[in-house]
A = this chain, B = another copy of it.
């Protein structure tokens, strides 16, 4: 991969990276489209990164389907699928970590304490191997994008971060590899996440500015027998840091819920 990128650079080509954990869906492929518009060569990395999963999380059952992913990439015009093994990426005595310690403390960081450290470390490694001019991240993981942008700024990495809008099913459910864990009935029920976010936005659109009331409404709308709310927060749309005052159009409602035994996240600009 390093040699390929060096060759591409030497030939004057620009490289875009789309980092993924595989189990590619139309959300990932929309990132590929953005990558292709912004660089000569598009690299999709497929790596289920062990260090971003907690001890009781779904690392083992996370879907792995490399042949199918590679076919989807090829059909979409991806130039390179980079699918290293865990031992390619991590030496047995690997002991270096990249951590972001402000944005990562909120939202998903509270319930997944080492998750973002795993993300920033592996993204740094992927950047150093692939050496992309730009990299595309989806806004479903809005906090993740904010953290990556902060990392790139703080460490002077020469990578332009591109944000891709959330892709949804017709039902409104945000596409996620983890949707596979749900039954049809659960997927139908999980559409209330999107409806709750839209209700929050409608409140703001009709003049509501009280953050507590927005949060309370979203929590109320999302709740049914299968829902367990991890958080509903109003944050700055760019940095994902908590806000105390609503600035219309510059904030985001971010939420995580367990729906049955599946942890889902979604967000909406307000």
Contact = CB atoms under 8 A, between A and B. Distances in A.
Interface of A: 2, 90-91, 93-103, 120-121, 124-125, 128-129, 150-151, 153-158
Given A124-B155, A156-B128, A157-B128, A150 B97 contact: no
A157 to B, nearest CB: 6
Contact of A155 (B93, B96, B101, B103): B96
Given A96-B120, A128-B155, 17 more contacts: A2-B156, A91-B153, A91-B154, A93-B102, A95-B101, A95-B102, A95-B154, A96-B154, A96-B155, A97-B100, A98-B98, A98-B155, A121-B155, A124-B155, A125-B154, A125-B156, A128-B156
13 contacts: A91-B154, A93-B102, A95-B102, A95-B103, A96-B100, A96-B151, A96-B155, A97-B98, A98-B98, A98-B155, A99-B99, A125-B154, A125-B156
Nearest to A120: B96
